[in-house]
Chains A and B, each alone.
Chain A
Amino acid sequence: MGSPRLIKNLKSILTHVFIYLLAFLTFAPFLWMILTSVKDMSEIYVYPPKWFPSEFKFENYKNAFDAAPFGTYYINSLIAAVSVTIGQLITCSMAAFAFARLKFKGNNILFLLFLGTMMVPYNVTMIPSFMMLYWLGWIDTYSALIVPGLASAFGTFLLRQFFLTIPKELEEAAYIDGATKFGVLRRIIIPLSKPALATLAVFTFMGVFNDFIWSLIVLNSEEMRTVQLGLAVFRDRYLTQWDLLMAGSVTAVLPILLVFFFAQKYFIQGITLSGLKE
Protein backbone atom coordinates (compact mmCIF):
# COMPACT_ATOMS: atom_id res chain seq x y z
CA MET A 1 0.00 0.00 0.00
CA GLY A 2 1.99 3.01 -1.24
CA SER A 3 0.69 6.17 0.30
CA PRO A 4 -0.56 8.77 -2.25
CA ARG A 5 2.03 11.16 -0.90
CA LEU A 6 4.86 8.80 -1.65
CA ILE A 7 3.60 8.26 -5.20
CA LYS A 8 3.34 11.99 -5.64
CA ASN A 9 6.89 12.50 -4.49
CA LEU A 10 8.13 9.71 -6.70
CA LYS A 11 6.37 11.26 -9.69
CA SER A 12 7.90 14.62 -8.89
CA ILE A 13 11.38 13.10 -8.65
CA LEU A 14 10.97 11.30 -11.95
CA THR A 15 9.75 14.50 -13.61
CA HIS A 16 12.82 16.32 -12.30
CA VAL A 17 15.18 13.63 -13.53
CA PHE A 18 13.53 13.66 -16.93
CA ILE A 19 13.53 17.42 -17.44
CA TYR A 20 17.11 17.86 -16.20
CA LEU A 21 18.27 15.07 -18.50
CA LEU A 22 16.54 16.77 -21.42
CA ALA A 23 18.09 20.12 -20.49
CA PHE A 24 21.49 18.50 -20.31
CA LEU A 25 21.06 16.95 -23.76
CA THR A 26 19.97 20.31 -25.15
CA PHE A 27 22.97 22.04 -23.69
CA ALA A 28 25.45 19.23 -24.42
CA PRO A 29 26.48 20.56 -27.86
CA PHE A 30 27.66 23.75 -26.12
CA LEU A 31 29.71 21.80 -23.59
CA TRP A 32 31.11 19.63 -26.35
CA MET A 33 32.05 22.71 -28.36
CA ILE A 34 33.80 24.34 -25.40
CA LEU A 35 35.60 21.17 -24.33
CA THR A 36 36.74 20.39 -27.88
CA SER A 37 38.01 23.93 -28.29
CA VAL A 38 40.64 23.35 -25.59
CA LYS A 39 41.67 19.83 -26.61
CA ASP A 40 44.76 18.72 -28.43
CA MET A 41 44.09 17.15 -31.84
CA SER A 42 45.35 13.84 -30.49
CA GLU A 43 42.48 13.85 -27.98
CA ILE A 44 39.90 14.96 -30.52
CA TYR A 45 40.38 12.05 -32.87
CA VAL A 46 39.79 9.27 -30.36
CA TYR A 47 37.11 6.66 -30.15
CA PRO A 48 35.20 6.37 -27.88
CA PRO A 49 35.05 10.15 -27.45
CA LYS A 50 36.84 11.56 -24.46
CA TRP A 51 34.89 14.23 -22.58
CA PHE A 52 37.59 16.06 -20.70
CA PRO A 53 40.99 17.06 -22.07
CA SER A 54 43.99 15.86 -20.05
CA GLU A 55 45.23 19.42 -20.22
CA PHE A 56 43.55 22.59 -21.38
CA LYS A 57 45.12 23.76 -24.59
CA PHE A 58 44.25 27.42 -24.82
CA GLU A 59 46.68 27.89 -27.71
CA ASN A 60 43.89 26.66 -29.97
CA TYR A 61 42.37 30.10 -29.65
CA LYS A 62 45.62 31.79 -30.52
CA ASN A 63 46.06 29.42 -33.47
CA ALA A 64 42.55 30.14 -34.71
CA PHE A 65 43.17 33.87 -34.48
CA ASP A 66 46.45 33.38 -36.35
CA ALA A 67 44.79 31.32 -39.06
CA ALA A 68 42.11 33.95 -39.73
CA PRO A 69 41.74 37.59 -38.65
CA PHE A 70 38.93 36.96 -36.16
CA GLY A 71 39.82 40.23 -34.46
CA THR A 72 38.96 42.15 -37.62
CA TYR A 73 35.81 40.08 -38.10
CA TYR A 74 34.81 40.96 -34.56
CA ILE A 75 35.30 44.67 -35.05
CA ASN A 76 33.22 44.54 -38.25
CA SER A 77 30.41 42.65 -36.55
CA LEU A 78 30.41 44.98 -33.57
CA ILE A 79 30.40 48.11 -35.73
CA ALA A 80 27.43 46.76 -37.70
CA ALA A 81 25.52 45.46 -34.67
CA VAL A 82 26.03 48.55 -32.51
CA SER A 83 25.21 51.00 -35.32
CA VAL A 84 22.06 49.19 -36.34
CA THR A 85 20.95 48.85 -32.73
CA ILE A 86 21.40 52.53 -31.92
CA GLY A 87 19.89 53.52 -35.25
CA GLN A 88 16.85 51.34 -34.73
CA LEU A 89 16.27 52.60 -31.21
CA ILE A 90 16.07 56.11 -32.64
CA THR A 91 14.06 55.47 -35.82
CA CYS A 92 11.68 53.02 -34.15
CA SER A 93 10.92 55.25 -31.18
CA MET A 94 10.24 58.15 -33.51
CA ALA A 95 7.93 56.10 -35.72
CA ALA A 96 6.28 54.47 -32.71
CA PHE A 97 5.66 57.91 -31.18
CA ALA A 98 3.94 59.03 -34.38
CA PHE A 99 1.71 55.95 -34.39
CA ALA A 100 0.95 56.01 -30.67
CA ARG A 101 0.48 59.72 -30.07
CA LEU A 102 0.03 61.81 -33.19
CA LYS A 103 -3.29 62.30 -34.88
CA PHE A 104 -2.87 62.26 -38.62
CA LYS A 105 -4.78 61.05 -41.62
CA GLY A 106 -4.22 57.39 -42.39
CA ASN A 107 -2.52 56.54 -39.09
CA ASN A 108 -4.21 53.17 -38.80
CA ILE A 109 -3.82 52.23 -42.45
CA LEU A 110 -0.14 53.13 -42.49
CA PHE A 111 0.39 51.15 -39.31
CA LEU A 112 -1.28 48.10 -40.85
CA LEU A 113 0.96 48.50 -43.90
CA PHE A 114 3.94 48.59 -41.56
CA LEU A 115 2.84 45.33 -40.00
CA GLY A 116 2.33 43.96 -43.47
CA THR A 117 6.01 44.49 -44.31
CA MET A 118 6.89 41.94 -41.62
CA MET A 119 5.27 39.30 -43.74
CA VAL A 120 7.41 39.95 -46.79
CA PRO A 121 10.00 37.14 -46.90
CA TYR A 122 13.54 38.43 -47.06
CA ASN A 123 14.42 36.46 -50.16
CA VAL A 124 11.93 38.57 -52.13
CA THR A 125 13.60 41.82 -51.07
CA MET A 126 17.13 40.37 -51.12
CA ILE A 127 17.83 40.68 -54.87
CA PRO A 128 16.60 44.26 -55.46
CA SER A 129 18.12 45.40 -52.16
CA PHE A 130 21.43 44.03 -53.33
CA MET A 131 21.07 45.90 -56.60
CA MET A 132 20.14 49.10 -54.79
CA LEU A 133 23.37 48.86 -52.83
CA TYR A 134 25.23 48.03 -56.03
CA TRP A 135 23.90 51.19 -57.71
CA LEU A 136 24.78 53.24 -54.64
CA GLY A 137 28.30 51.82 -54.75
CA TRP A 138 27.90 50.44 -51.25
CA ILE A 139 28.75 46.79 -51.90
CA ASP A 140 31.46 45.62 -49.52
CA THR A 141 31.10 48.61 -47.17
CA TYR A 142 29.72 49.13 -43.67
CA SER A 143 26.81 51.07 -45.18
CA ALA A 144 25.63 47.87 -46.87
CA LEU A 145 25.51 46.15 -43.49
CA ILE A 146 23.99 49.06 -41.60
CA VAL A 147 21.64 51.22 -43.70
CA PRO A 148 19.06 48.55 -44.72
CA GLY A 149 18.67 47.70 -41.03
CA LEU A 150 17.96 51.24 -39.88
CA ALA A 151 14.21 50.69 -39.66
CA SER A 152 12.18 47.86 -38.26
CA ALA A 153 8.50 47.07 -38.34
CA PHE A 154 8.95 44.69 -35.43
CA GLY A 155 10.64 47.41 -33.38
CA THR A 156 8.08 50.05 -34.26
CA PHE A 157 5.28 47.68 -33.35
CA LEU A 158 6.91 46.68 -30.06
CA LEU A 159 7.51 50.29 -28.97
CA ARG A 160 4.10 51.51 -30.13
CA GLN A 161 2.39 48.89 -28.00
CA PHE A 162 4.48 50.00 -25.04
CA PHE A 163 3.98 53.74 -25.58
CA LEU A 164 0.22 53.20 -25.63
CA THR A 165 0.38 51.98 -22.03
CA ILE A 166 2.02 55.21 -20.79
CA PRO A 167 -0.59 57.61 -19.31
CA LYS A 168 -0.96 60.85 -21.25
CA GLU A 169 -1.27 63.21 -18.25
CA LEU A 170 2.49 63.68 -17.90
CA GLU A 171 2.82 64.76 -21.51
CA GLU A 172 -0.07 67.18 -21.34
CA ALA A 173 1.56 68.98 -18.44
CA ALA A 174 4.80 69.20 -20.41
CA TYR A 175 3.03 70.59 -23.48
CA ILE A 176 1.43 73.27 -21.34
CA ASP A 177 4.92 74.16 -20.12
CA GLY A 178 5.90 74.64 -23.77
CA ALA A 179 7.65 71.39 -24.57
CA THR A 180 7.95 70.29 -28.19
CA LYS A 181 6.85 66.86 -29.38
CA PHE A 182 10.43 65.80 -29.76
CA GLY A 183 11.13 67.02 -26.24
CA VAL A 184 8.21 65.01 -24.89
CA LEU A 185 9.46 61.89 -26.66
CA ARG A 186 12.99 62.38 -25.37
CA ARG A 187 12.31 63.52 -21.83
CA ILE A 188 9.12 61.71 -20.91
CA ILE A 189 8.35 58.73 -23.13
CA ILE A 190 11.88 57.37 -23.63
CA PRO A 191 12.86 57.35 -19.93
CA LEU A 192 9.62 55.52 -19.11
CA SER A 193 10.13 52.93 -21.83
CA LYS A 194 13.42 51.43 -20.79
CA PRO A 195 12.22 47.80 -20.62
CA ALA A 196 10.75 47.96 -24.13
CA LEU A 197 13.86 49.69 -25.50
CA ALA A 198 16.10 47.11 -23.84
CA THR A 199 14.05 44.33 -25.42
CA LEU A 200 14.39 45.90 -28.84
CA ALA A 201 18.12 46.56 -28.35
CA VAL A 202 18.81 42.97 -27.34
CA PHE A 203 16.85 41.55 -30.28
CA THR A 204 18.39 43.86 -32.84
CA PHE A 205 21.91 43.31 -31.60
CA MET A 206 21.41 39.56 -31.69
CA GLY A 207 19.88 39.66 -35.15
CA VAL A 208 22.69 41.67 -36.69
CA PHE A 209 25.49 39.87 -34.88
CA ASN A 210 24.12 36.47 -35.92
CA ASP A 211 23.19 37.49 -39.45
CA PHE A 212 24.73 35.41 -42.16
CA ILE A 213 22.96 35.56 -45.52
CA TRP A 214 23.05 39.33 -45.85
CA SER A 215 26.80 39.54 -45.15
CA LEU A 216 27.33 36.65 -47.55
CA ILE A 217 25.62 38.59 -50.32
CA VAL A 218 26.95 42.12 -49.82
CA LEU A 219 30.53 41.55 -48.67
CA ASN A 220 33.47 40.41 -50.78
CA SER A 221 36.76 41.30 -49.19
CA GLU A 222 38.36 39.51 -46.29
CA GLU A 223 38.86 42.67 -44.23
CA MET A 224 35.11 43.44 -44.35
CA ARG A 225 33.95 39.99 -43.20
CA THR A 226 31.75 39.66 -40.15
CA VAL A 227 32.30 36.97 -37.53
CA GLN A 228 29.62 34.67 -38.98
CA LEU A 229 30.79 35.04 -42.56
CA GLY A 230 34.38 34.66 -41.44
CA LEU A 231 33.52 31.48 -39.58
CA ALA A 232 31.70 30.02 -42.60
CA VAL A 233 34.73 30.68 -44.81
CA PHE A 234 36.97 29.31 -42.08
CA ARG A 235 34.94 26.12 -42.07
CA ASP A 236 35.47 25.68 -45.82
CA ARG A 237 39.20 26.07 -45.40
CA TYR A 238 39.83 24.02 -42.25
CA LEU A 239 37.25 21.30 -42.86
CA THR A 240 38.42 18.87 -40.20
CA GLN A 241 40.64 21.02 -37.97
CA TRP A 242 38.10 20.63 -35.19
CA ASP A 243 40.31 22.29 -32.57
CA LEU A 244 40.45 25.52 -34.56
CA LEU A 245 36.85 25.28 -35.76
CA MET A 246 35.53 24.86 -32.22
CA ALA A 247 37.67 27.73 -30.95
CA GLY A 248 36.24 29.84 -33.76
CA SER A 249 32.69 28.77 -32.93
CA VAL A 250 33.09 29.61 -29.25
CA THR A 251 34.34 33.02 -30.32
CA ALA A 252 31.32 33.51 -32.55
CA VAL A 253 28.69 32.63 -29.92
CA LEU A 254 30.28 34.10 -26.80
CA PRO A 255 29.04 37.72 -26.90
CA ILE A 256 25.44 36.71 -27.55
CA LEU A 257 25.56 34.00 -24.92
CA LEU A 258 26.85 36.53 -22.38
CA VAL A 259 24.22 39.11 -23.27
CA PHE A 260 21.64 36.37 -22.99
CA PHE A 261 22.71 35.20 -19.53
CA PHE A 262 22.52 38.73 -18.17
CA ALA A 263 19.49 39.99 -20.02
CA GLN A 264 17.45 36.85 -20.41
CA LYS A 265 14.19 38.44 -19.34
CA TYR A 266 14.31 40.87 -22.26
CA PHE A 267 14.57 38.02 -24.72
CA ILE A 268 11.63 36.25 -23.15
CA GLN A 269 9.66 39.51 -22.99
CA GLY A 270 10.32 40.28 -26.62
CA ILE A 271 8.92 36.97 -27.72
CA THR A 272 5.88 36.89 -25.47
CA LEU A 273 4.99 40.57 -26.00
CA SER A 274 4.86 40.23 -29.71
CA GLY A 275 4.71 36.56 -30.49
CA LEU A 276 6.65 37.41 -33.61
CA LYS A 277 9.71 35.84 -35.09
CA GLU A 278 12.75 37.96 -35.92
Chain B
Amino acid sequence: MKKNISMRKGDGLSALLFLSPTLLVFGAFILFPVIFSFYLSFHQWNMFSTDTKFVGVDNYIRLFQNEEFWDVLKNTAIYTFGTIPLNMIFSLMVAYILNKKIIGKKLLRTLFFAPVIISPVAAAVVWRWLYDPNFGIFNYFIGLFGINPINWLNEPTAAMAALIIMGVWKTFGYNMVLFSAGLSGIPDNYYEAAQIDGAGWWAKFWHITLPMLAPTTFFIMIMSIISSFQVFDIVYVLTSGGPLGSTKVLVFYVYEYAFKFFEMGYASAMSYFLFLILFILTLLQVKYMKSKVYGA
Protein backbone atom coordinates (compact mmCIF):
# COMPACT_ATOMS: atom_id res chain seq x y z
CA MET B 1 0.00 0.00 0.00
CA LYS B 2 2.79 2.36 0.97
CA LYS B 3 4.62 1.58 -2.23
CA ASN B 4 1.54 2.45 -4.23
CA ILE B 5 1.36 5.89 -2.67
CA SER B 6 5.03 6.67 -3.29
CA MET B 7 4.57 5.55 -6.90
CA ARG B 8 1.78 8.07 -7.40
CA LYS B 9 3.99 10.89 -6.19
CA GLY B 10 6.50 10.51 -8.99
CA ASP B 11 3.98 10.34 -11.83
CA GLY B 12 4.70 13.82 -13.16
CA LEU B 13 8.32 13.06 -13.88
CA SER B 14 7.56 9.60 -15.30
CA ALA B 15 4.90 11.08 -17.53
CA LEU B 16 7.41 13.54 -18.92
CA LEU B 17 9.80 10.70 -19.57
CA PHE B 18 7.19 8.54 -21.29
CA LEU B 19 5.95 11.44 -23.36
CA SER B 20 9.29 12.97 -24.27
CA PRO B 21 9.97 11.17 -27.60
CA THR B 22 6.53 12.06 -28.87
CA LEU B 23 6.70 15.62 -27.57
CA LEU B 24 10.06 16.13 -29.24
CA VAL B 25 8.88 14.95 -32.64
CA PHE B 26 5.58 16.85 -32.39
CA GLY B 27 7.39 19.96 -31.27
CA ALA B 28 9.70 19.89 -34.24
CA PHE B 29 7.33 18.69 -36.94
CA ILE B 30 3.90 19.94 -35.92
CA LEU B 31 3.98 22.70 -33.31
CA PHE B 32 6.93 24.59 -34.78
CA PRO B 33 5.62 24.26 -38.36
CA VAL B 34 2.13 25.50 -37.45
CA ILE B 35 3.59 28.61 -35.82
CA PHE B 36 6.33 29.16 -38.34
CA SER B 37 4.14 28.88 -41.41
CA PHE B 38 1.79 31.45 -39.86
CA TYR B 39 4.80 33.73 -39.40
CA LEU B 40 5.98 33.00 -42.94
CA SER B 41 2.61 33.86 -44.43
CA PHE B 42 3.32 37.51 -43.56
CA HIS B 43 6.78 37.47 -45.10
CA GLN B 44 8.40 37.23 -48.44
CA TRP B 45 11.09 34.61 -48.48
CA ASN B 46 12.88 32.55 -51.03
CA MET B 47 14.17 29.77 -48.82
CA PHE B 48 17.71 29.88 -50.16
CA SER B 49 18.30 33.54 -49.37
CA THR B 50 18.99 34.80 -45.89
CA ASP B 51 16.78 37.85 -45.86
CA THR B 52 13.17 37.59 -44.94
CA LYS B 53 11.04 40.60 -45.71
CA PHE B 54 7.97 41.46 -43.67
CA VAL B 55 5.16 42.23 -46.08
CA GLY B 56 2.13 42.31 -43.78
CA VAL B 57 -0.98 40.88 -45.37
CA ASP B 58 0.35 41.34 -48.92
CA ASN B 59 0.57 37.59 -49.51
CA TYR B 60 -3.09 37.22 -48.63
CA ILE B 61 -4.09 40.20 -50.79
CA ARG B 62 -2.08 38.80 -53.68
CA LEU B 63 -3.79 35.47 -53.15
CA PHE B 64 -7.31 36.87 -53.27
CA GLN B 65 -6.52 38.97 -56.31
CA ASN B 66 -5.02 36.03 -58.14
CA GLU B 67 -7.59 34.67 -60.55
CA GLU B 68 -5.78 31.37 -60.88
CA PHE B 69 -6.13 30.81 -57.16
CA TRP B 70 -9.91 31.10 -57.40
CA ASP B 71 -9.88 28.66 -60.31
CA VAL B 72 -7.84 26.27 -58.22
CA LEU B 73 -10.26 26.67 -55.33
CA LYS B 74 -13.14 26.02 -57.71
CA ASN B 75 -11.46 22.88 -59.07
CA THR B 76 -10.93 21.62 -55.53
CA ALA B 77 -14.58 22.27 -54.70
CA ILE B 78 -15.76 20.53 -57.89
CA TYR B 79 -13.61 17.50 -57.08
CA THR B 80 -14.79 17.43 -53.47
CA PHE B 81 -18.49 17.87 -54.11
CA GLY B 82 -18.36 15.64 -57.16
CA THR B 83 -16.73 12.78 -55.28
CA ILE B 84 -18.56 12.83 -51.97
CA PRO B 85 -22.21 12.22 -53.00
CA LEU B 86 -21.21 9.35 -55.31
CA ASN B 87 -18.87 7.98 -52.69
CA MET B 88 -21.50 8.03 -49.97
CA ILE B 89 -24.25 6.53 -52.11
CA PHE B 90 -21.97 3.70 -53.22
CA SER B 91 -20.48 2.99 -49.82
CA LEU B 92 -23.84 2.99 -48.09
CA MET B 93 -25.40 0.79 -50.76
CA VAL B 94 -22.61 -1.77 -50.55
CA ALA B 95 -22.57 -1.72 -46.74
CA TYR B 96 -26.35 -2.13 -46.70
CA ILE B 97 -26.28 -5.14 -49.00
CA LEU B 98 -23.36 -6.73 -47.13
CA ASN B 99 -25.35 -6.35 -43.92
CA LYS B 100 -27.92 -8.80 -45.32
CA LYS B 101 -27.66 -12.56 -45.78
CA ILE B 102 -25.03 -12.76 -48.51
CA ILE B 103 -22.80 -15.68 -49.39
CA GLY B 104 -19.07 -14.91 -49.38
CA LYS B 105 -19.24 -11.67 -47.40
CA LYS B 106 -15.60 -11.83 -46.42
CA LEU B 107 -14.38 -12.15 -49.98
CA LEU B 108 -16.68 -9.35 -51.12
CA ARG B 109 -15.50 -7.02 -48.42
CA THR B 110 -11.89 -7.74 -49.36
CA LEU B 111 -12.56 -6.90 -52.99
CA PHE B 112 -14.36 -3.65 -52.18
CA PHE B 113 -11.71 -2.59 -49.72
CA ALA B 114 -8.65 -3.40 -51.84
CA PRO B 115 -8.51 -0.03 -53.68
CA VAL B 116 -8.31 1.81 -50.35
CA ILE B 117 -5.08 0.20 -49.19
CA ILE B 118 -2.98 0.32 -52.34
CA SER B 119 -0.68 3.15 -53.21
CA PRO B 120 -2.37 6.10 -54.94
CA VAL B 121 0.60 6.45 -57.28
CA ALA B 122 0.37 2.89 -58.61
CA ALA B 123 -3.42 3.14 -58.79
CA ALA B 124 -3.20 6.34 -60.83
CA VAL B 125 -0.66 4.79 -63.21
CA VAL B 126 -3.07 1.90 -63.80
CA TRP B 127 -5.99 4.27 -64.30
CA ARG B 128 -4.07 6.25 -66.90
CA TRP B 129 -4.00 3.02 -68.84
CA LEU B 130 -7.73 2.41 -68.29
CA TYR B 131 -8.41 5.93 -69.55
CA ASP B 132 -6.20 5.59 -72.64
CA PRO B 133 -8.15 7.24 -75.50
CA ASN B 134 -7.38 4.56 -78.10
CA PHE B 135 -6.86 1.30 -76.26
CA GLY B 136 -8.33 1.97 -72.82
CA ILE B 137 -10.94 -0.25 -71.24
CA PHE B 138 -13.18 2.72 -70.45
CA ASN B 139 -13.64 3.76 -74.03
CA TYR B 140 -14.15 0.13 -74.98
CA PHE B 141 -17.00 -0.21 -72.45
CA ILE B 142 -18.77 3.00 -73.37
CA GLY B 143 -18.30 1.97 -77.00
CA LEU B 144 -20.41 -1.13 -76.30
CA PHE B 145 -23.27 1.27 -75.54
CA GLY B 146 -22.64 3.24 -78.69
CA ILE B 147 -20.94 6.19 -77.00
CA ASN B 148 -18.08 7.80 -78.89
CA PRO B 149 -14.58 7.54 -77.44
CA ILE B 150 -13.71 10.24 -74.92
CA ASN B 151 -10.28 11.78 -74.67
CA TRP B 152 -10.42 11.35 -70.91
CA LEU B 153 -7.23 12.98 -69.74
CA ASN B 154 -6.75 15.60 -72.43
CA GLU B 155 -10.04 17.45 -72.33
CA PRO B 156 -10.79 19.67 -69.30
CA THR B 157 -14.29 18.49 -68.35
CA ALA B 158 -13.51 14.85 -69.05
CA ALA B 159 -10.29 15.05 -67.04
CA MET B 160 -12.15 16.28 -63.97
CA ALA B 161 -14.76 13.55 -64.45
CA ALA B 162 -11.95 10.99 -64.79
CA LEU B 163 -10.39 12.23 -61.56
CA ILE B 164 -13.72 12.07 -59.72
CA ILE B 165 -14.50 8.54 -60.93
CA MET B 166 -11.10 7.35 -59.84
CA GLY B 167 -11.39 9.21 -56.54
CA VAL B 168 -14.69 7.45 -55.76
CA TRP B 169 -13.21 4.06 -56.66
CA LYS B 170 -10.19 4.65 -54.47
CA THR B 171 -12.03 5.76 -51.33
CA PHE B 172 -15.55 4.32 -51.13
CA GLY B 173 -14.34 1.10 -49.49
CA TYR B 174 -13.17 3.10 -46.50
CA ASN B 175 -16.58 4.61 -45.92
CA MET B 176 -18.17 1.22 -46.55
CA VAL B 177 -16.38 -0.10 -43.45
CA LEU B 178 -17.61 2.85 -41.37
CA PHE B 179 -21.17 2.43 -42.65
CA SER B 180 -21.01 -1.32 -41.94
CA ALA B 181 -20.07 -0.58 -38.35
CA GLY B 182 -22.93 1.89 -38.13
CA LEU B 183 -25.43 -0.55 -39.65
CA SER B 184 -24.50 -3.40 -37.34
CA GLY B 185 -25.21 -1.07 -34.42
CA ILE B 186 -28.90 -0.79 -35.34
CA PRO B 187 -30.88 -3.24 -33.18
CA ASP B 188 -32.75 -5.95 -35.11
CA ASN B 189 -35.97 -5.50 -33.17
CA TYR B 190 -36.50 -2.10 -34.83
CA TYR B 191 -36.73 -3.87 -38.16
CA GLU B 192 -38.82 -6.69 -36.71
CA ALA B 193 -41.32 -4.22 -35.32
CA ALA B 194 -41.51 -2.47 -38.67
CA GLN B 195 -41.97 -5.84 -40.37
CA ILE B 196 -44.95 -6.59 -38.17
CA ASP B 197 -46.41 -3.22 -39.09
CA GLY B 198 -46.10 -4.28 -42.71
CA ALA B 199 -43.38 -1.83 -43.68
CA GLY B 200 -41.69 -2.48 -47.01
CA TRP B 201 -38.03 -2.38 -47.84
CA TRP B 202 -37.99 1.30 -48.68
CA ALA B 203 -40.00 2.34 -45.64
CA LYS B 204 -37.62 0.48 -43.36
CA PHE B 205 -34.60 2.03 -45.03
CA TRP B 206 -36.06 5.53 -44.98
CA HIS B 207 -37.56 5.51 -41.49
CA ILE B 208 -35.12 3.31 -39.57
CA THR B 209 -31.78 2.88 -41.30
CA LEU B 210 -31.16 6.44 -42.44
CA PRO B 211 -32.15 8.21 -39.20
CA MET B 212 -30.19 5.70 -37.10
CA LEU B 213 -27.16 6.20 -39.30
CA ALA B 214 -27.27 9.99 -39.15
CA PRO B 215 -24.28 10.45 -36.79
CA THR B 216 -22.14 8.07 -38.89
CA THR B 217 -23.22 9.79 -42.08
CA PHE B 218 -22.38 13.20 -40.71
CA PHE B 219 -18.99 12.04 -39.50
CA ILE B 220 -18.18 10.41 -42.85
CA MET B 221 -19.26 13.49 -44.74
CA ILE B 222 -17.07 15.89 -42.79
CA MET B 223 -14.06 13.56 -42.88
CA SER B 224 -14.52 13.04 -46.61
CA ILE B 225 -14.65 16.76 -47.28
CA ILE B 226 -11.49 17.30 -45.25
CA SER B 227 -9.55 14.60 -47.06
CA SER B 228 -10.89 15.44 -50.54
CA PHE B 229 -9.86 19.05 -50.08
CA GLN B 230 -6.31 17.79 -49.63
CA VAL B 231 -6.17 15.44 -52.61
CA PHE B 232 -2.73 15.42 -54.21
CA ASP B 233 -1.17 12.06 -55.15
CA ILE B 234 -3.72 10.90 -57.68
CA VAL B 235 -3.87 14.36 -59.25
CA TYR B 236 -0.10 14.50 -59.57
CA VAL B 237 0.11 11.16 -61.36
CA LEU B 238 -3.19 11.00 -63.26
CA THR B 239 -3.39 14.50 -64.74
CA SER B 240 -0.52 16.58 -63.28
CA GLY B 241 -3.06 19.35 -62.84
CA GLY B 242 -3.84 19.52 -66.55
CA PRO B 243 -5.13 19.90 -69.15
CA LEU B 244 -5.06 23.71 -69.05
CA GLY B 245 -5.01 23.68 -65.26
CA SER B 246 -8.49 22.14 -65.16
CA THR B 247 -7.55 19.65 -62.43
CA LYS B 248 -5.11 21.81 -60.53
CA VAL B 249 -6.19 21.50 -56.89
CA LEU B 250 -5.15 23.40 -53.78
CA VAL B 251 -2.40 21.18 -52.41
CA PHE B 252 -0.94 20.83 -55.88
CA TYR B 253 -0.85 24.62 -56.14
CA VAL B 254 0.79 24.99 -52.74
CA TYR B 255 3.33 22.36 -53.74
CA GLU B 256 4.15 24.22 -56.97
CA TYR B 257 4.69 27.57 -55.28
CA ALA B 258 6.69 26.13 -52.39
CA PHE B 259 8.87 23.55 -54.09
CA LYS B 260 9.07 24.70 -57.69
CA PHE B 261 9.10 28.50 -57.32
CA PHE B 262 10.34 28.49 -53.70
CA GLU B 263 7.95 31.27 -52.73
CA MET B 264 7.65 30.02 -49.18
CA GLY B 265 5.76 33.01 -47.79
CA TYR B 266 3.13 33.04 -50.49
CA ALA B 267 2.74 29.26 -50.35
CA SER B 268 2.33 29.46 -46.57
CA ALA B 269 -0.44 32.03 -46.95
CA MET B 270 -2.19 29.61 -49.30
CA SER B 271 -1.87 26.71 -46.94
CA TYR B 272 -3.13 28.81 -44.05
CA PHE B 273 -6.17 29.73 -46.05
CA LEU B 274 -6.83 26.03 -46.65
CA PHE B 275 -6.23 25.44 -42.94
CA LEU B 276 -8.97 27.97 -42.16
CA ILE B 277 -11.47 26.21 -44.43
CA LEU B 278 -10.67 22.83 -42.91
CA PHE B 279 -10.68 24.24 -39.40
CA ILE B 280 -14.25 25.44 -39.77
CA LEU B 281 -15.25 22.00 -41.02
CA THR B 282 -13.36 20.36 -38.18
CA LEU B 283 -15.14 22.47 -35.58
CA LEU B 284 -18.41 21.02 -36.82
CA GLN B 285 -17.03 17.58 -36.22
CA VAL B 286 -15.25 18.08 -32.90
CA LYS B 287 -18.49 17.66 -30.94
CA TYR B 288 -18.87 14.21 -32.39
CA MET B 289 -15.24 13.31 -31.63
CA LYS B 290 -15.58 14.43 -28.02
CA SER B 291 -18.56 12.23 -27.37
CA LYS B 292 -16.70 9.36 -29.00
CA VAL B 293 -13.51 9.72 -26.97
CA TYR B 294 -15.00 10.48 -23.60
CA GLY B 295 -18.39 8.88 -24.01
CA ALA B 296 -16.96 5.38 -24.46
Contact = CB atoms under 8 A, between A and B. Distances in A.
Contacts of B230: 121-123
Nearest to A278: B227
Given A22-B94, A92-B22, A123-B274, A128 B227 contact: no
Interface stretch (B79-87, B110-118, B205-213): B110-118
A76 B97 CA distance: 42
B33 interface: yes
A94 B22 CA distance: 9
Contact of B33 (A119, A127, A227): A127
- Counting chain B residues whose Cβ lies within 8 A of the other chain, the interface size class is 35 or more
Nearest to B201: A11
B274 A121 contact: yes
Interface string A79-118: 0000000000011101101100011110100100011010
Contacts of B15: 98, 102, 104, 107
Contacts of B102: 15-16, 19
Contacts of B158: none
A191 interface: no
A212 B121 contact: yes
Contact of A15 (B33, B97, B122): B97
A77 to B, nearest CB: 10
A98 B22 CA distance: 11
Interface in B1-54: 3-4, 7-8, 11-12, 14-16, 18-19, 21-22, 24-26, 28-34, 36-37, 40, 47
Given A120-B30, A151-B22, A213-B233, A256 B117 contact: yes
A257 B110 CA distance: 10
A124 B274 contact: yes
Contacts of A150: 21, 25
Contacts of A213: 232-233, 236, 251, 255
B112 A26 contact: yes
Interface string A224-263: 0001110110010000001001101100110011001100
B60 to A, nearest CB: 15
A119 B37 CA distance: 16
Contacts of A129: 29, 33
A253 to B, nearest CB: 4
28 contacts: A16-B102, A16-B103, A19-B97, A47-B135, A94-B19, A94-B21, A95-B19, A103-B11, A104-B11, A115-B293, A120-B30, A123-B255, A124-B33, A132-B29, A147-B29, A157-B293, A178-B3, A181-B14, A210-B117, A212-B119, A227-B119, A231-B121, A232-B121, A249-B126, A256-B118, A257-B118, A260-B110, A271-B181
Interface of B: 3-4, 7-8, 11-12, 14-16, 18-19, 21-22, 24-26, 28-34, 36-37, 40, 47, 94, 97-98, 100-104, 107-115, 117-123, 125-130, 132, 134-135, 137, 140, 169, 173-174, 177-178, 180-181, 219, 223, 226-227, 230, 232-233, 236-237, 250-251, 254-255, 258-259, 264, 267-268, 271-272, 274-275, 278-279, 282, 289, 292-293, 296
* Complex A-B, nearest 8 residue pairs according to Cβ-Cβ distance, in ascending order: A128-B33, A151-B25, A125-B33, A98-B18, A104-B15, A210-B119, A252-B122, A151-B22
